[in-house]
Amino acid sequence: MTDLDQTNAAGPWDTALEQLHRWDPEWAESCLKMTTNPWTSGVLPRKTVELIGVALNAACTNLNPDGTRRHIRAALRADATREEILMVLMMASVMAIHSCSLGTPILLEEAKAAGVQPALKAKVPTPACDRMRAMGQWNDAWNPFLQLDPVWTDEFMATGAGIYGNGVMSPKLVELLSVAFDASYTHMYAPGTRRHIKAALNLGASMEEIMEVLKLSVVQGVQACNLGVPILAEEIAKLSTMGAQ
């Protein structure tokens, strides 16, 4: 089996690789070797690799339908359950909280500089936030928007607690997936990346396992070729047809 044939069973590529191999076989083979390395290194189980692939493609900062489908299919073939894949999709949704993690501290700082005060609100119970603290999942970066809107923050945390407290995945795998979400080149959220790498190490993840997650985030870059190479081929064919008329 050639390197090109192996992509039918593993890796981030679709049929674009065949066209790329015809146009630039040397670069295609070099890129193929690098991008399929996480599938062949054996550092992470195949199921974990594919679940991370689902995470990177389905993330709300990416939303790549073809890649999401490809890795969901591969994850199912690697014995991932519906519940595991669904949890990844839920995690891919709630990572959008980083809009508030980034924005509300800036809002508080600029409001203070402008002499603007938040409206006074009666203290309300926040049971979901309390549960997140009890689970060890509370992040102090959430304090600013808890201060500004405790009701909505508690509603959001109820959504998050329902994911992270369901026991579908091991805590270590949850942290590895979280590293992928935050380190992804479509997100690059440094505070979260550091937080989840630290948590993964504390849960027994090796440096090599975390490095595989980061490699998978880099490998995601071939989606540029998966998207663009077929379009380039189509447009060249159109020009050729027009020139022949």
CA distance 51 to 167: 16
Query: For all residues of the chain together, what is the average pLDDT?
Result: 92
pLDDT score, position 119: 86
CA distance 51 to 87: 10
C-beta neighbour count of 101 within 10 angstroms = 16
In a domain, 71, yes or no: yes
Mean pLDDT of 204-231: 97
Closest CA to 192 of 65, 31, 66, 61: 61
> Over 50: is that where the pLDDT of 8 sits?
no
In a domain, 237, yes or no: yes
In a domain, 181, yes or no: yes
- Burial of residue 55 (CB within 10 Å: 0-12, 13-18, 19+) is buried
pLDDT category, 7, cuts 50, 70, 90? very low
pLDDT category, 5, cuts 50, 70, 90? very low
Which domain does 222 fall in, by range? 29-100+167-244
In a domain, 79, yes or no: yes
C-beta neighbour count of 189 within 10 angstroms = 18
In a domain, 151, yes or no: no
In a domain, 38, yes or no: yes
Mean pLDDT of 182-208: 96
> What is the domain-level CATH number for residue 237?
1.20.1290.10
Number of domains in the chain: 1
Closest CA to 236 of 26, 24, 25, 23: 23
Strand locations in 30-186, DSSP E?
none
In a domain, 82, yes or no: yes
Question: Are 87 and 168 in contact, with CB atoms under 8 Å apart?
Answer: yes
- Compute the half-sphere exposure of residue 76: CA atoms within 13 Å on the CB side of its CA: 7
Mean pLDDT of 183-193: 96
pTM, rounded to two decimals: 0.90
Encode pLDDT of 77-93 as tens digits.
999 999 999 999 999 99
In a domain, 134, yes or no: no
Alpha-carbon distance values, 117 to 36, 43, 58, 148, 171 (Å): 53, 52, 38, 10, 40
Say which amino acid occupies 5.
D
Pinpoint the alpha helices (H) of 59-149. 65-77, 82-94, 98-114, 127-134, 143-148
